[in-house]
């Protein structure tokens, strides 16, 4: 049996809904073998981020080398990277191991407003990480920070997606969840064509970790050899199922339901 291997390079969320924990749960549900490099530890629950503890650079590089020198990976994603030093070290190692199928979730701010990326690190993201990417998955505020554009209309989104491809990304998914329209429109751009993925907005406060889960699902699909557009479409189904069937855990923004997609597909849910 050939095992698809997927690696996440991201922060830990003690609450289990976002970050490393969301990624590993998603990899498992989509039949990829999950591995993790922890860049920072957050003390966190559904009410917010209470502390952020970055891992020293040597500790991050040593984790990456442990995977690179033995197991390798078929795809990887990055999530919370926190500082320009971490971004530069991670980019250098991805380049060193010539890893492809690289999904960049440019995580910047947690739902409650806590900074998961320092302001000055946006340039490192643009200069070193985006050029290595197979796909970048910004939400609208992140795309605004990366491109230095105000994004209001669909045309604005398309311009921003083109800018990100100009920066060296192979493709972009511009996530529409941060808008307020009744329908959520996620835009996929492969450098040539735009695909609009539209779905009704689901009324729930349990959306913690949606971006992490979505990008992890893309990574798992790429690890299995699925081509990028189909990987994105499957990831959209995965996250939609996870948001639709909330678990109701915690007093604040609770986690999504990582079981939902698979349980639904085996008709036991």
Asked if 80 is part of the footprint of ligand PXL (rule: CB under 6 A), the reply reads yes
Out of 11, 176, 177, 254, the only residue in the binding site for ligand PXL (CB under 6 A) is 11
β 5-13/33-45 pair status: parallel
CA distance linking residue 207 with residue 219, whole number of Å:
20
CB nearer ligand PXL, residue 111 or residue 224: 111
Q: Point out the catalytic residue in the list 17, 79, 211, 254.
A: 211
Q: Name the segment binding ligand PXL (CB under 6 A); options: 126-134, 204-212, 223-231, 261-269.
A: 204-212
CA distance linking residue 41 with residue 82, whole number of Å:
11
Out of 26, 36, 42, 137, the only residue in the binding site for ligand PXL (CB under 6 A) is 42
Q: Name the segment binding ligand PXL (CB under 6 A); options: 12-20, 60-68, 96-104, 231-239.
A: 12-20
The sign of the dihedral angle between the CA atoms of 21, 262, 210, 220 is: positive
Nearest approach in angstroms of CB 81 to ligand PXL is 9
Q: Is 219 a catalytic residue?
A: no
Q: In what order do the strands lie in the sheet with 33-45?
A: 48-54, 33-45, 5-13, 75-78, 102-104, 135-136, 172-174, 183-189, 194-200
CB nearer ligand PXL, residue 165 or residue 217: 217
Residues in the chain: 269
Q: Is 127 exposed, middle or buried (0-12, 13-18, 19+ CB in 10 A)?
A: middle
Q: Point out the catalytic residue in the list 26, 73, 128, 207.
A: 207
Asked if 211 is part of the footprint of ligand PXL (rule: CB under 6 A), the reply reads yes
Size of the site for ligand PXL (CB under 6 A): 15
Asked if 13 is part of the footprint of ligand PXL (rule: CB under 6 A), the reply reads yes
Nearest-CB residue for ligand PXL: 19
Asked if 19 is part of the footprint of ligand PXL (rule: CB under 6 A), the reply reads yes
Nearest approach in angstroms of CB 17 to ligand PXL is 8
Asked if 209 is part of the footprint of ligand PXL (rule: CB under 6 A), the reply reads yes
Number of alpha carbons in the 13 Å side-chain half-sphere of residue 141: 10
Binding site for ligand PXL (CB under 6 A): 10-11, 13, 18-19, 42, 44, 79-80, 107, 110, 116, 209, 211-212
């Amino acid at each position: 049996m050939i095992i698809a291997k997927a690696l996440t390079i991201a922060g830990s969320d003690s609450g289990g809904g976002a970050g490393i924990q969301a990624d590993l749960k998603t990899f498992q549900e989509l039949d990829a073998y999950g591995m993790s490099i922890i860049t920072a530890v957050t003390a966190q629950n559904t009410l917010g981020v209470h502390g952020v503890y970055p891992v020293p650079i040597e500790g991050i590089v040593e984790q990456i080398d442990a995977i690179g020198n033995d197991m390798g990976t078929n795809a990887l994603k990055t999530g919370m990277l926190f500082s320009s030093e971490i971004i530069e070290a991670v980019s250098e190692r991805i380049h060193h191991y010539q890893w492809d199928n690289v999904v960049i979730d440019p995580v910047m701010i947690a739902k409650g407003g806590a900074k998961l990326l320092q302001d000055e690190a946006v340039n490192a993201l643009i200069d070193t990480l985006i050029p290595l990417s197979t796909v970048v998955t910004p939400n609208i505020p992140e795309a605004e920070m990366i491109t230095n554009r105000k994004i209001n209309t669909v045309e604005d989104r398309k311009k921003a997606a083109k800018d990100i491809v100009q920066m060296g990304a192979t493709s972009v998914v511009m996530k529409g969840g941060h808008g307020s329209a009744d329908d959520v429109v996620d835009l996929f751009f492969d450098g040539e064509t735009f695909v609009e993925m539209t779905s009704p907005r689901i009324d729930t406060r349990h959306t913690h970790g949606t971006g992490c889960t979505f990008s992890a699902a893309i990574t798992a699909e790429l690890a299995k050899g699925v081509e990028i557009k189909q990987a994105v479409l499957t990831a959209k189904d995965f996250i939609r199922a996870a948001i639709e069937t909330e678990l109701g855990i915690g007093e604040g923004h609770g986690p999504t339901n990582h079981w939902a997609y698979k349980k639904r597909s085996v008709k036991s849910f």
